[in-house]
């Protein structure tokens, strides 16, 4: 059994969908679970629907119709010789179910609404790919991921019930693969009450990892628009280097610091069962990619460069000018945890404590409001966080020259610098 994951760029239009079916043909599509994300920028488009709806603007329906029209164009381009009626009807049913939900919904819980609506993108993409593959004779079954992947009620950041999910995935998939490969949605889970949750942005990699873990897969493959794992973003660094193999540990470190090739939660489940993960290009799909495994040779890794833009620096100091002590830190950490805002970098001094986070407007404002009675708080926006693993003096100088460095933190293998570019 193998697990494949295709992201939004790999199914962004009709040609991309054809390419996915070509990859499946070339790689013996049987005995596979194929996890698919929403097509192209669909998630962003559905976020617009949600925001219009939440603001009470009637234009949300027009925006939802635009999502249908976009996918209708893809379906029409796929089926030049007929056979598209089922796909059109299947997608129309999904759109109308979402419209019905929004018209009947009485909740003002934004995250709950978000997950019910944004998950539509994954259901549409998997429906289109499944119908088209079956039309080509690539026999498959479309599995609703909510039947097998269970979470708690933490909307937008669902926590997976691994034991319950593993049992359900094994039971369901073992039956379905007898009649072809299985296609299912990434990014989406199910609450105990049967509502959709999502696993965090870019969480489709995590979904594939959960399936690989549950099925004791021999390999998991993530198909990307790059040839594999690089030491830097090739869109930003023309001399980025291809990494043919890295260890699970190195991959976890890279993803923790923000490398965008793999979702941060993806590695641990497959590491626990020693399942190799390969990152391959859906453009040059005959070439081998980068392999993440336990025994990779990483003794000659080049510096690994990771940028996180749009950072906010929050600095806290006690209003009585006392030293920052454990009771201060515990209150700050508890407030960040309560607001579910991840800390990217932290540093303390005698009378201050500084934290760098992603720009999340509402969460940051809530944190400031909750802590401003106890702390003096300063804020700096529009910053960039540079992380370099396996650094050397030359690469540090090259990337920080003429930059305004606000925070610097260094260990034996990793340096982080928060700066204005």
User: How many structural domains comprise the chain?
Assistant: 2
The answer to whether residue 64 is domain-embedded is yes
The answer to whether residue 132 is domain-embedded is yes
- How far apart CA 10 and CA 285 sit, in angstroms, is 11
On whether the CB atoms of residues 99 and 182 are closer than 8 A, the answer is no
The answer to whether residue 265 is domain-embedded is no
Q: What is the pLDDT of residue 201?
A: 67
The band of 133, judged by pLDDT with boundaries at 50, 70 and 90, is very high
Q: How far apart are the first and last CA of the chain?
A: 47
Of residues 263 and 382, more confidently modeled: 382
pLDDT per position as a tens digit, 53-62:
999 999 999 9
- Of 217, 252, 281, the one marking the end of a domain is 217
Instruction: Say which CATH number the domain at 132 has.
Output: 3.40.1160.10
- The reply to whether 24 and 135 lie within a common domain is yes
Check whether 81 has a pLDDT greater than 90: no
- Of 217, 244, 266, the one marking the end of a domain is 217
- The reply to whether 187 and 324 lie within a common domain is no
Check whether 327 has a pLDDT greater than 90: no
The answer to whether residue 293 is domain-embedded is no
Name the residue range of residue 386's domain. Answer: 304-420
- The reply to whether 69 and 164 lie within a common domain is yes
Quickly list DSSP for 2-57. Answer: EEEEE-GGGGSSHHHHHHHHHHHHHTT-SSEEEEE--STTHHHHHHHHHHHHHTT-
- Of 163, 186, 217, the one marking the end of a domain is 217
- The reply to whether 340 and 207 lie within a common domain is no
Residue 151 is given by DSSP the state: B
The answer to whether residue 378 is domain-embedded is yes
Check whether 320 has a pLDDT greater than 80: no
pLDDT per position as a tens digit, 43-78:
999 999 999 999 999 999 999 999 999 999 999 999
- The reply to whether 331 and 203 lie within a common domain is no
Average pLDDT rounded to a whole number, residues 193-210: 93
The answer to whether residue 55 is domain-embedded is yes
- The reply to whether 49 and 184 lie within a common domain is yes
- The reply to whether 309 and 213 lie within a common domain is no
Residue 47 in tokens: 């976020």
- The reply to whether 181 and 313 lie within a common domain is no
The band of 121, judged by pLDDT with boundaries at 50, 70 and 90, is very high
- The reply to whether 335 and 188 lie within a common domain is no
Check whether 202 has a pLDDT greater than 80: no
Q: What is the pLDDT of residue 421?
A: 86
The answer to whether residue 241 is domain-embedded is no
The answer to whether residue 248 is domain-embedded is no
Residue 245 in tokens: 């193999």
Q: What is the pLDDT of residue 300?
A: 84
Check whether 315 has a pLDDT greater than 80: yes
Q: What is the pLDDT of residue 82?
A: 80
- The reply to whether 171 and 54 lie within a common domain is yes
Check whether 376 has a pLDDT greater than 80: yes
Average pLDDT rounded to a whole number, residues 218-245: 93
- The reply to whether 319 and 211 lie within a common domain is no
Check whether 321 has a pLDDT greater than 80: no
The angle, 0 to 180 degrees and rounded to 10, between the axes of the packed helices 85-104 and 120-135 is 170
- The reply to whether 79 and 201 lie within a common domain is yes
Instruction: Say which CATH number the domain at 404 has.
Output: 3.30.2130.10
């Amino acid at each position: 059994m193998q697990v494949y994951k295709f992201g939004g760029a790999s199914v962004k239009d009709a040609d991309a969908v054809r390419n996915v079916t070509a990859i499946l043909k070339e790689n013996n599509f049987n005995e596979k679970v194929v996890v698919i994300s929403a097509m192209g920028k669909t998630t962003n488009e559905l976020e617009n629907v949600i925001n219009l709806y939440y603001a009470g603007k009637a234009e949300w329906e027009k925006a939802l119709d635009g999502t249908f029209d976009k996918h209708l164009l893809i379906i029409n381009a796929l089926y030049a010789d007929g056979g598209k009626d089922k796909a059109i009807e299947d997608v129309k049913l999904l759109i109308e179910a979402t419209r019905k939900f929004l018209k009947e919904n009485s909740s003002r819980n934004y995250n709950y609404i978000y997950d019910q609506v944004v998950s539509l993108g994954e259901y549409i993409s998997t429906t289109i790919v499944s119908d088209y593959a079956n039309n080509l004779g690539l026999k498959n079954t479309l599995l609703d991921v909510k039947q097998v992947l269970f979470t708690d009620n933490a909307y937008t950041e669902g926590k997976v019930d691994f034991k319950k999910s593993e049992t359900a995935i094994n039971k369901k998939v073992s039956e379905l693969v007898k009649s072809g490969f299985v296609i299912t949605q990434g990014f989406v889970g199910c609450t105990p009450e049967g509502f959709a949750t999502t696993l965090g942005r870019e969480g489709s990699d995590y979904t594939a990892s959960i399936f690989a873990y549950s099925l004791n897969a021999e390999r998991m493959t993530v198909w990307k628009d790059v040839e594999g794992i690089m030491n830097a973003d090739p869109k930003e660094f023309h001399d980025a280097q291809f990494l043919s193999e890295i260890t699970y540990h190195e991959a976890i470190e890279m993803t923790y610091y923000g490398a965008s090739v793999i979702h941060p939660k993806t590695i641990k489940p497959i590491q626990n069962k020693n399942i190799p993960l390969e990152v391959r290009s859906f453009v040059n799909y005959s070439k081998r990619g980068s392999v993440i495994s336990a025994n990779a040779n990483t003794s000659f890794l080049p510096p690994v460069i990771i940028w996180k833009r749009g950072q906010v620096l929050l600095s806290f100091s006690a209003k009585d000018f006392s030293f920052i002590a454990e009771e201060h830190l515990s209150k700050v950490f508890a407030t960040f945890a309560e607001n579910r805002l991840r800390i990217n970098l932290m540093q303390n001094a005698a009378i201050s404590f500084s934290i760098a986070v992603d720009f999340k407007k509402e969460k940051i404002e809530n944190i400031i409001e909750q802590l401003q009675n106890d702390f003096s708080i300063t804020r700096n926006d529009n910053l960039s966080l540079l992380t370099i693993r396996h650094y050397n003096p030359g690469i540090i100088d090259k990337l920080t020259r003429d930059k305004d460095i606000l925070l610097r933190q260094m260990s034996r293998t990793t340096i982080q610098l928060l700066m204005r570019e």
